[in-house]
Amino acid sequence: MAWSIAEVARMSGVTSRTLRHYDEIGLLPPAWIGSNAHRYYEEADLLRLQQILLMRELDVGLREIKAVLDSQVDRVAVLRGHHQRLLAERDRLGTLAHTVGRTIAELEEAEENDDMATINRPENLFEGFEPSEEESAKVRERWPSAWEQSRQAVETMTAEDTERWQREVTAQMIRVAEFMVAGIPVDAPVVQAEMEQHYRGVCRFWTPNKAAYEGLAQTYVDEPRMRANFDKVAEGLAIYQRDAMVVYADARLS
């Protein structure tokens, strides 16, 4: 059975113009061309188009796609690899979507009840936000003045203050993760606006200069427990957060 270029375009969502371009570069030639000069595709061509679209979703360039498809590589093995990557991405986005949904539901419930109901804080999200004795000692040794300011600020916080702060931290981590998943660069204005809020949040406890803020950013990556907190929200979030903070420090704290 064969399908015309118009039918393939309708089924796949790929425009006829794109299909003609794929033919011109040798990526997806039609099975045959009719007397009316229309291109026709057979089942093998549709399977090849599926592989092209899968690799395009993974940001593989057309030249690289052609090299893979024209090689003697086992196409089932290639597809299996793509499948695993897509499943991993699905799981990652699913986890993030669940976190966002839970937070929305709890914030809405708090608004409906007109109270300060606390957001559920699963262990895998907030574990490690209180530094271990070893981590606390490192901070105290490196920034003794900042450590003392932070300690005094924390001691004045009520349980309600702490819960409010934790809600703010949760919401901001989710927002930054959404930017990362969307592929927004760390120097984009929306991301830097979040870093401004982050910096102001840090200043509630101590006021870091450029070097100290960059040092804090690196701590999010270097300290295993801190990095785990970010990356359990979205893989790679710790590095993305660090890079965004460094951009902010260079621009605003120099």
Residue extent(s) of CATH 1.10.1660.10 domains in the chain:
2-73
CA distance 99 to 205: 27
In degrees and rounded to multiples of 5, residue 40 shows phi and psi of -130, 140
Q: Which residues of 50-86 are buried (b: 16+ CB within 10 A; e: fewer)?
A: ebbebbeeeeeeeeebbeebeeeeeeeebeeebeeee
H-state helical runs in the chain: 5-12, 16-24, 43-57, 62-70, 75-113, 123-126, 133-142, 144-155, 159-181, 189-203, 210-222, 224-233, 237-252
pLDDT in tens, 93-146: 776 677 666 666 666 666 666 554 444 443 333 333 444 444 445 555 655 665
Q: What is the pLDDT of residue 182?
A: 81
Give the tens place of pLDDT for each residue, 138-191: 555 655 665 565 656 666 667 676 667 777 777 788 888 888 888 889 999 999
Summarised one tens digit per residue, pLDDT across range 9-21 is 999 999 999 999 9
Q: What confidence score (pLDDT) does residue 131 get?
A: 44
Identify residue 203 by its one-letter amino acid code: C
Residues of the chain with CATH 1.10.490.50: 119-252
Q: How far apart are the C-alpha atoms of 69 and 52, rounded to whole Å? A: 8
Mean pLDDT of the residues in the chain: 77
Average pLDDT of the segment spanning 70-90: 69
Q: For residue 3, what are the β-bridge partners?
A: 41
- What's the confidence (pLDDT) of residue 123? 35
Enter the CATH code of domain 119-252.
1.10.490.50
Q: What is the pLDDT of residue 103?
A: 62
Third-level CATH fold of 2-73: Multidrug-efflux Transporter Regulator; Chain: A; Domain 2 (1.10.1660)
Residue 195: pLDDT over 60: yes
